[in-house]
Structure 1
Amino acid sequence: MTAERSGPAVPTATYRLQMQPGFPFAAAASAVPHLASLGVSHLHLSPVLEAVPGSPHGYDVVDHARVRDELGGEQGLRALARTAREHGLGLVVDIVPNHMAMAPRHNRALWEVLREGPTSPYARWFDIDWEAQGGQLLLPVLGGPLGAESAHLVVDGDVLRYHDHAFPLREGTGKLPLTRLLDAQWYRPVWWRLARTELNYRRFFSISELIGVRVEDPEVFDATHAKILQLLREGVVDGLRVDHPDGLADPGGYLRRLHEASGGRWTVVEKILADGERLPASWPVAGTTGYDALRHVDGLFTDPAGAGELLGHYRRFAAPQTDRGGDWDATVRRAAYKVLTHELAAETERLTRVVGRLCAASPDPALRDRAPWALRTALRELLVRLRVYRPYAAGDAARVVTEEAAGQARHAFVVPEEGEAVDVVRGLLLGPDGDGAPGAGPDGAEFRARFAQTASALRAKSVEDTAFYRYVPLLSATEVGGDPSRPAVSPAGFHAYCARVQRDWPATGTVVSTHDTKRSADVRAALAVLTECPGRWADVLAEVSRDGAAGPDAQLAWAAWQTVFGLGPADPERVGQALLKHAREAGLYTSWTERDPVYEEALAAFVAAGPCGPPGGRVAAFRAALAAHVRANVLGTALVHLTMPGVPDLYQGTEDEYRALVDPDNRRPVRFPTGAHGEAGEALEPGRSGEKTAVTAAALRLRARRPEVFGDTATYAPLSARGPAAAHCVAFARSGAVVTAVTRLSLRLAEAGGWRDTRLVLPPGRWADLLAPGREFDGHARVADLFEPRPVVLLERTAETG
């Protein structure tokens, strides 16, 4: 029986909960009264399907047909949905179409493939190159070379065991000697280091523990989506967040199939858009998960001139290491070369094999006689020059893989004739008509799909997971979807973005903190203040450096001091773990696979003695002196996010001030109040604990009460301030019924003499202050009066207005 839908078709606001064994469905149900009182319309759950036991995130799915037992199983999910409905809430869930866990003990489909090989009915599920590695699936699980680990490979009936790993044996092979037994399997356990160059299955980025799934196959789509679609049909779930569609062979085709199968439910995709890039208009989705909004909101509170000055101080501080992180474009390019030749070497080789087959089979003589090394070089040089995650539909390749990029790529070849390999590769990408249309048969389609998939993995690994840790002038700018070379967004740029969102994607998601952000919004809001006082920050660093608190390298030290400034007082263990991850991701002196114990010990000693030791007190005092300006950014970020176009998604705990670093720090379970938190219209005194909660609840309750003001048919209109400090007031009206106004660059404002006679021109009517009941404004309101109790204001047009 189909249940009644639990909420509106389009959420007014969602609240993200990280489901894990320590926070199961029952815990989420207990939090429902509090979350309902905030004013959200839907809970947004991280993946709920069966995952590797103990998984803290759920993205390592092992069974798409079952709701995760450790969270409470399907009964627990349905009970949560009932509790949510009783409080007027629906559910949105995160789904993972791109990959599954490489855990045969728990992944039955993969177990069958390992036992039966390419003839298994499940073989079509996984993106495996059976033509490579002698027809065996490489399993990079051994702690060392086979000779050193063979004693730990034990046959147990029809199972091969290696420590905690278990693999099925091919029928009739259990009694063979070990070497012959391994040769007889459809898989080959190997030293984990071989994954870098020898792997023959597609994975999630460079994570060998996650194997790619071929959801472009209709049968695989049906099998992996049946349970989620059932939950949608029965009203348990109302909407979807799609994880990493860029990893799929055909994202557009997948989303069209999902849209049809789900009945057009509200769906957003985790698509990272480069600055200026647009979401494909043909995708039948509500929009993105909101990292593009994050970049614009953060940029609004960043001073462009100060960011440039901060970069200059950083380059001097980090000298002579600036060639390893002082220029953004160069940093990204070096990181991309490193990723392609190391972490993604296996993917590059598979791509080279595919294009080699195309050339060898082509009737065009111009494609023949291309050496693998030349094709590999051409692929590498084109890939490192992509400025977006991947090309998509016909014609997109020509826009993404530009002639300018091809010209630069040819310079990698000494002999011009060998450089023609660049034109060969680009020509295959563009297709026979030069517009990206299909051509060259199945191999041509496979090449274009694999090029796009490799491009997305490269962009994620080289930018998000490497360059963001090497280029650190302003840590708040090194965020998912961000452009650290241009961290600031002007008010005009922000308004233009919002107008475009309202026009084209009014139901898109918006975020400022997520489970993947490297620093929570409140940490970034504090860091943005440094762009308003770069000289004073440089003086602070000079002082703490004179105290002997020097890091193992200057770049890491700069990042460490910014980390404790943004975070404020914190457990040294949290700071130490985040900075250790920072150093390993940067890969300059230590890494996840080539760890340098001496460097890492020096890093730990520095954190304890410096940022988390006595010198850290100087940074803490500096932060305290700037508390009013941090507060302005925190509240401004929150209110802008909650009232701009789109559907805001709040990350768990962020209704109050929330300071967190990169995962796993930001994925810790949150403790929620046991009852409803606050009443509508409640006002808190400025500076009191819970001030951000009051602002958040006021905005969310307004969205819930007046969805038409913010929805598909709503309007967005910038409002202009007039006077000497007009540039510091950012304001906009929604549907002529609600006004948001926030303070921008409050430190610069104070240094310039404050608001003085600056006024905000309000739309006609009387306007009630929702954050301080009893106050009303009209006409040309003095900004100093608007912001007298706090640096933000939320106004609603009164019913008495005509």
Structure 2
Amino acid sequence: MTPTATYRLQLQPDFPFSAAEDAVPYLAALGVSHLHLSPVLEAVPGSRHGYDVVDHGRVRAELGGEEGLRRLAGTARRHGLGLVVDIVPNHMAAVPHLNRALWEVLREGPGSAYARWFDIDWEAGGGKVLLPVLAGRIGDELGAFRVDGEVLRHGGQEFPLRSGTGRLPLPELLDAQHYRLCWWRLARTELNYRRFFTISGLIGVRVEDPEVFAATHGKILELVRDGVIDGLRVDHPDGLADPASYLDRLAAAAAGRWTVVEKILTGDERLPADWVVAGTTGYDALHRVDGLFVDPMGAAELIGRYREYAGPAADRGGSWAATVRRAAYRVVTHDLAAETGLLTRLAERVCAEDPALRDHAPWALHTAIRELLVRMPVYRAYVTAGGPCPETAAETLPEVVVRDAKAAFTVAEEAAAVDVVRDLALGRLGAGPDRAAFCARFAQTASALRAKSVEDTAFYRYVPLVSANEVGGDPGRPAVTPEEFHAFCARLARDRPTTGTALTTHDTKRSADVRARIAVLSECPEQWSWLLVELGRITPASPPDAQFAWSAWQTALGCAGLPAGEAVGRLEPALLKGVREAGLCTGWTEHDPGYERAVTDFVAAGPASDGGPVREMLDRFAGTLDPYVRANVLGAALVQLTMPGVPDLYQGTEEEYVALVDPDNRRPFRRPSEGAARGEKGEVTAVALRLRRERPEVFGASGTYLPLGASGPAAPHCLAFCRSGEVVTAVTRLSLRLAESGGWHGTELALPDEGPWTDLLTPGRKFAGESVATADLFAERPVALLVRAGREGDPGLG
């Protein structure tokens, strides 16, 4: 069954299956159709997310085991709910004593039956797997090793010993293994296994191998067949060698259960047409919904004021595109040096097999690989060596990218290496296993580079309007016009009507409500600039630099709803994480203690202060924005809940939800106490969810989408659409600008027909005729949800 709406619960030891079971009655009453669970298979003990799987054959004991999961499914079923589960096909935790497959590979070497599970370049490691797990150089760590039978121990870590080596002297014993233990810093350049992004603790899994697929999906598919699991959310398909073939196999094995993929689409990029899935997890929708509530002229003015305020720091990256390019160069040459080294070796071997290609120097191939990777406009191409190169794949490396990549060469003849690498990446050149490996690994590396350089670096370096810095977004052009939004929705309704949509996830850097408040700044850039000057004048501590101050104050404003006493404990870790991710003045592996101390001192004295003149001024300014924040919050929520697609609500977001980047947004879910009154957002959400559940034909795969137009001086401030001729959604956008221009006077919204129509959000209010005055429509709330009057069972408020 296709869900009408899902509700994401972040499972962890502090919120196991039994806690989710307790929440079932509340969530059923809210109106969702399915619980959306984070990964349920055995993970590293204590994991708060579950993406570090260690055993695909067992349901996680810390959550209650298989018995607890089946009991949760039964309780959910009795309340009319199904389960959608997050699965992790791309990687496992590289913890040998917990990961049996990896343990056997380390013990038996390339001859192990499990060697096919992982992408290991045995040749590059001299026949060994590099394990960068030591805190220091191995010469400084020798005293910490001890042998216990057939196990080598180092602190809390355990490693298998090759048969017959347990009695050797330690130096010889270490040399005799199928692995090489080394200092963690060597991972950057020497690592010889595929990993998740730049995290060496997560080793890539070769699910393209049918036997590996069967072994790693057996338990999940058993739970699907038994009716425990009704739908699947696939984590990071871009990490797979051949996502399309994987999804074909998964769809067949899961008998076509509703499945969405965590695929990040860039700009107007489309999900590959041959992917057998309902759609994405919804970051593409998040960007379009958020963008409706950003003023394009004000956002442009903010960029100028940001550069004026932040000075040289803001110009380190220049424009958004330049910031991304600089970040990509840093990541590809530093963090992904091992990956680009492998690609160079594979390219060398392919060229060596073809007499026409043998004279391309290794340095030229390496340069071409680097220059093409940093210029790719999307996450990756979807093409397999030997197969046809679809037009969409060729577009990932268009001629303009090739031309610009060649500019890195001073000799035109040597620049021909770019053509070779481009054709290798698109599967057009070469033959044999090395060619296939290059084609897959180039795509996998490209997706890792895009994620690390954009999501984890550039988003923290380019901060004129931090609410725009979410996955799938475009901080260089954060605003989305109503026309663009309508075109997007029409395409979804036509091509992927049951795709996922989202506003907040476990990975968003700021929750939807935080972003909604910050977005109002695009409507008042001048007042924002004035506030920064005044705050700088009265804050007792100096910021480490003006760029950080700009970002920190925006974050603090977005979190104006935090309960008293929580600001320092919530803002400080998130802002400290931000400067480390940016990597401009400090980092995760190269700390600058002085800079970080300046960060925490400033945050405590200013953005996170709990009282005094600084807090009073910030709260006073936030209070003046409250009416416009309300319009943004309610508008975004209602649009997501009624646009094409299946809305996913993150835990707690049915009400006001203030959260920052993980781990802040992964705190255990706490359902409201029995009988607690819903806030306004909660009321709107519940009404829309119940309507979706009671009228699936209106919003489902057969439903239609029709943009509705307003006329009059304030027409651009109304966004409206009709679903299947039965339900009208209307919301207010850019409400601060609307108030400044005099309000709704003389503006009307055209209705699909004369009705009459009932507003479910304001019981008793009905509208008839070919149009309605927006001043009347939004008299009670900045949003309206209209259904044809007289429909039985309409789930209105009250």
- Shared fold (TM-score greater than 0.5)? yes
Letter in 1 for 2:136: G
Asked if the contact 1:30/1:674 (under 8 Å) is kept, the reply is no
Residues 533-554 of structure 1: per-residue CA shift (max 9 Å, x gap): 0010001001112235531011
Rounded to whole Å, the distance in 1 between the matches of 2:493 and 2:164 is 63
How far apart, in 1, do the equivalents of 2:83 and 2:418 lie?
48
Please list, as runs of the form range in 1=range in 2, the aligned pairs for 1:170-569 lying within 5 A after superposition: 170-364=162-356, 367-393=357-383, 394-395=389-390, 396-432=392-428, 440-548=431-539, 549-568=541-560, 569=562
Structure 1 residue 119 displacement after superposition: 1.0
- Determine if contact 1:33/1:676 at 8 Å carries over to the other structure: no
Q: Distance in 1 between matches of 2:417 and 2:69?
A: 54
Contact 1:510-1:646 at 8 Å conserved across structures: yes
1:633 equivalenced with 2:624 (yes/no) = no
| CA positional deviation for 1:347 | 0.5
For the pair 1:776 / 2:775, whether they are aligned, the reply is no
How much has 1:616 moved relative to structure 2? 3.8
Q: What SS is found at the alignment partner of 1:590?
A: coil
Q: Is the 8 A contact 1:244 1:269 kept in 2?
A: yes
User: Counterparts of 1:761 and 1:677 in 2: how far apart (Å)?
Assistant: 38
Residue type of the partner of 1:579? Answer: L
How far apart, CA to CA, are the structure 2 residues paired with 1:541 and 1:136? 56
> Aligned match of 1:608 in 604, 609, 612?
604
Aligned to 1:706: 695
Distance of 1:428 and 1:508 partners within structure 2:
33
- The letter of the residue matching 1:596 is D
Give the secondary-structure state (helix, strand or coil) at the position aligned to 1:795.
strand
Are the structure 2 counterparts of residues 771 and 677 from structure 1 closer, same or farther at C-alpha, using a change threshold of 3 Å? farther
| Partner SS state of residue 20, structure 2 | helix
Match of 1:10 in 2: 2
In the superposition, the TM-score normalised over structure 1's length comes to 0.95
**Structure-2 residue corresponding to 1:685:** none
CA contact (8 A) 2:354 2:430 kept: no
Q: Is the 8 A contact 1:656 1:692 kept in 2?
A: yes
Q: Secondary structure at the match of 2:171?
A: helix
Distance in 1 (alpha carbons) for counterparts of 2:324 and 2:507: 20
Identity of paired residues, percent? 69
Match of 1:29 among 16, 21, 30: 21
CA apart distance, 1:155: 1.1
CA distance in 2, matches of 1:674, 1:470: 41
Q: Which string of whole-angstrom CA distances, capped at 9 and with x for unpartnered residues, describes residues 726-765 of structure 1?
A: 1101111100111110000000000000001211111221
| 8 Å CA contact 1:550, 1:610 repeated in 2 | no
**Which residue pairs with 2:796 in the alignment?**
none
Partner of 2:751: 762
Partner of 2:781: 790
Say if 1:37 and 1:677, in contact at 8 Å, map to a contact too.
Answer: no
The answer as to whether partners of 2:307 and 2:315 remain within 8 angstroms in 1 is no
Q: Is the 8 A contact 2:344 2:366 kept in 1?
A: yes
Partner of 1:643: 642
TM-score, structure 2 as length reference: 0.96
CA RMSD, aligned part only?
A: 1.2
Q: Deviations over 1:165-208 (max 9, x none)?
A: 10010011011111111111011110000000000000000000
Q: Does 1:578 align with 2:577?
A: no
Cα offset for 1:239?
Answer: 0.3
| Residue type at the aligned position of 1:478 | N
Counterpart Cα distance in 2 of 1:421 and 1:257: 36
Provide the secondary structure at the position in 2 that maps to 1:320: helix
Residue 709 of structure 2 corresponds to which residue in structure 1?
720
Contact 1:397 1:429 in 2 (8 A): no
**Are the equivalent residues in 2 in contact too, given 1:33–1:675 (CA < 8 A)?**
no
CA distance in 1: counterparts of 2:214 and 2:783, whole angstroms: 49
The one-letter amino acid paired with 2:368 is A
Match of 1:146 in 2: 138
Letter in 2 for 1:644: M
Contact in 2 for aligned 1:22/1:669 (Cα 8 Å)? yes
Whether 1:696 aligns to 2:665 is: no
CA offset digits 1:284-307 (Å, max 9, x no partner) = 000000000000000001000000
1:69 is the counterpart of 2:42: no
| Corresponding position of 2:107 | 115
The one-letter amino acid of 2:531's match is V
Deviates more, 1:667-676 or 1:553-562: 667-676
**SS in structure 1 at match of 2:731:** strand
- 1:677: how far off? 6.7
Give the conservation status (yes or no) of the 8 Å contact 1:34–1:676. no
Q: Secondary structure at the match of 2:272?
A: coil
Q: Which amino acid aligns with 2:639?
A: V
Deviates more, 1:173-182 or 1:657-666: 173-182
Aligned to 2:386: none
Per-residue deviation, 1:276: 0.7
Displacement of 1:673 in angstroms is 2.9
* C-alpha spacing 1:501/1:397, structure 2 compared with 1 (3 Å): closer
> 2:649 matched to 1:660?
no
Opposite residue 134 of structure 1, the aligned amino acid is G
CA-to-aligned-CA distance 1:674-716 (integer Å, 9 cap, x gap): 54777xxxxxxxxxx6110000000000000000000011000
Partner of 2:312, secondary structure, is coil
**Match of 1:282, as an amino acid?**
D
Distance in 2 separating the partners of 1:475 and 1:550: 21
Specify the alignment match of 2:73 in structure 1: 81
The verdict on how the C-alpha distance between 1:536 and 1:88 changes in structure 2, with shifts beyond 3 A counting, is: same
SS at 1:135 equivalent: coil
Are the equivalent residues in 2 in contact too, given 1:390–1:453 (CA < 8 A)?
yes
Deviations 1:582-618 (A, max 9, x none): 0000000100000111111111111011212342432
Aligned twin of 2:50: 58
Structure 1 counterpart of 2:795: none
CA distance in 2 between counterparts of 1:371 and 1:354 reads 13
Amino acid at match of 2:253: A
Q: Displacement of 1:439 after TM fit?
A: 5.1
Most deviating of 492-501 and 540-549: 540-549
Structure 1: runs of 5+ lacking an equivalent? 1-8, 433-437, 679-688
Deviation at 1:775, TM superposition (A): 0.9
Deviations 1:480-500 (A, max 9, x none): 111111100000110110000
Task: Determine if contact 1:589/1:596 at 8 Å carries over to the other structure.
Answer: yes
- CA distance in 1 between counterparts of 2:6 and 2:393 reads 35
Between 544-553 and 182-191, report the one with greater CA deviation.
544-553
**2:130 aligned counterpart, secondary structure:** strand
For 2:644, give the aligned amino acid: P
Structure 1 residue 410 displacement after superposition: 1.1
CA shift digits 1:114-160 (9 cap, x unpaired): 11111111111111111112111011110010111111111111111
Partner of 1:617: 616
Give 1:593's aligned residue: 589
Aligned pair count? 776
Name the residue aligned to 2:739: 750
Shift of 1:216: 0.2
Structure 1 segments of 4 or more deviating over 4 A?
A: 674-678
